[in-house]
Amino acid sequence: MKARMIVDKSFRIAQVDNRIYGSFIEHLGRAVYGGIYEPGHETADAGGFRSDVKELIKELNVPIIRYPGGNFVSGYNWEDGVGPVTERPKRLELAWRTLEPNEVGTNEFISWAKEVGSEVMMAVNLGTRGIDAARNLLEYTNHPGGTYWSDLRRSHGYKQPHKIKTWCLGNEMDGPWQIGHKTSAEYGRLALETAKAMRLVDPSIELVSCGSSSTGMPTFPEWEAATLDHTYEAVDYISLHQYYGNRDNDTANYLALTLDMDHFIHTVKSTCDYIKAKKRSKKTMYLSFDEWNVWYHSNDADRQIDPWSVAPPQLEDVYNFEDAILVGSMLITFLRHADRVKMACLAQLVNVIAPIMTENGGRAWKQTIFYPYLHVSKYGRGVSLLPIVDSPKYDSKDFTDVPYLDSAVVHNEADEEITIFAVNRHLEEALDLECDVRSFEGYRLIEHIVMEHDDLKAVNTASEETVKPHNRGEAKLDSGHVTARLAKASWNVIRLKKA
């Protein structure tokens, strides 16, 4: 099998916003307690946060982290998580039916995020609360001083404002499972009025309005149209959420699911542009894909967890090799939509459907999906280019004309590097790729990173990392043409640099 690509520096999609490599920490399962925070751990710092986990997060170079939820935020009183820890209340957490001790709250998390080099995307509760709690939290975090809430922050030991820039107006408010679920009209009005109040407190912030919880929602995409009819001029982004799984054990169909993701993005873009035209606006609405991942392995185990315990092992998917391939393709999809997708959050970061896992009192280790996330975060910064692709195709249960080659290209102009990200979806045959890069004169091949494994179901564990990349790929560059054999069912990163 053969595939061809033409890559030209003039064929630009957009500058990649580095925040598409963001992630997510919710007060859910062992994401916080036993994940990023474990005071008794041998690597714990003075604040109780695990240093081994911090080092793995720094390796991923995560630019922004969404917090504190997720479904959790729709029942969360942010005041419970500030002030002296010994005086904080323990609460029944209704979204996931656990007990929340509130040992980690707003200030601790923001300080921790700074240590790992990340900004915070803060979500406000528009489920059980609303305008007042949102404006008060913003005043607490961002106002310099001289007011009740800002002085309260200063009394808690944080004299300088946190200057949180990005704020989510609630979470998945279209979902009947959500505490304080709203109709589109109810949410649109509340989000608009909350946005107005928050911008009066701090005009420099940017706001994310809730989009549909998935493409499967019966109200999609009418929810986007109806809510944006209220919020279009008041917000900067609309959110998208999507999770995939291989419940039918149909890998060919599973690896084609990014075609559904691509359709999701196109539909939301079109809906945003319809509202733009309807309002005769000059403003373009951008997309925040602030929940995405593979999620299905842990569903049965989660049904067996007893309620009202602290940090039970919820949503602890153990990812296999084929999951890593799909995650790579999902990242490729974001790059192809870099003109409109400006933020994205892999949900989540530690233990809960995550690239990083921990043992309580033990090791932290890398899941299979850690590596494509690492590669694209590390090498996918610059300008996303539009490659012209000619690939053989296949049909699956739910999709037709699925290209075996899934690819994106990023030009880092500052470092004079080109990176080709490529997935071979064929489960049985290698794919010979020829890529015309003649517009990049004087470049040389740096490396060809490959993730491959004979067992699509192979997983990593705390004791053994069986799925990991190598740099023994055999790509070659000659006379402005890259040639490479992409192994069957493989993830590939081909890097070129100006000589």
pTM comes to 0.97
- Kindly report, residue by residue over 176-203, the tens digit of the pLDDT: 999 999 999 999 999 999 999 999 999 9
Give 497's pLDDT tier (boundaries 50, 70, 90): very high
Q: What is the pLDDT of residues 21-46, one digit of tens each?
A: 999 999 999 999 999 999 999 999 99
**Structure token digits, residue 81:** 């998580």
Please choose, from the candidates 462, 366, 360, the residue with its C-alpha nearest in 3D space to the C-alpha of residue 30. Answer: 360
pLDDT band at 131 (very low <50, low <70, confident <90, very high): very high
The dihedral through the CA atoms of 246, 401, 376, 116 has a sign that is negative
Domains along the sequence of the chain with CATH: 2-9+385-498 (2.60.40.1180), 18-381 (3.20.20.80)
205 Cβ contact partners less than 8 Å away, ≥ 6 residues apart: 138, 142, 164, 165, 166, 167, 198, 199
Q: Is 316 a catalytic residue?
A: no
Q: Whole-angstrom Cα distance, residue 158 to residue 438?
A: 54
Residue 115 is a catalytic residue: no
Q: What pLDDT, on the 0 to 100 scale, is given for residue 432?
A: 98
Report the distance separating Cα 124 and Cα 219, nearest Å.
23
The single residue of 79, 119, 291, 452 carrying the catalytic annotation is: 291
Beta strands, E only, 387-455: 388-390, 393-394, 402-403, 405-412, 417-424, 431-436, 443-451
Considering the candidates 100, 119, 172, 322, report the single residue annotated as catalytic.
172
pLDDT of residue 382: 98
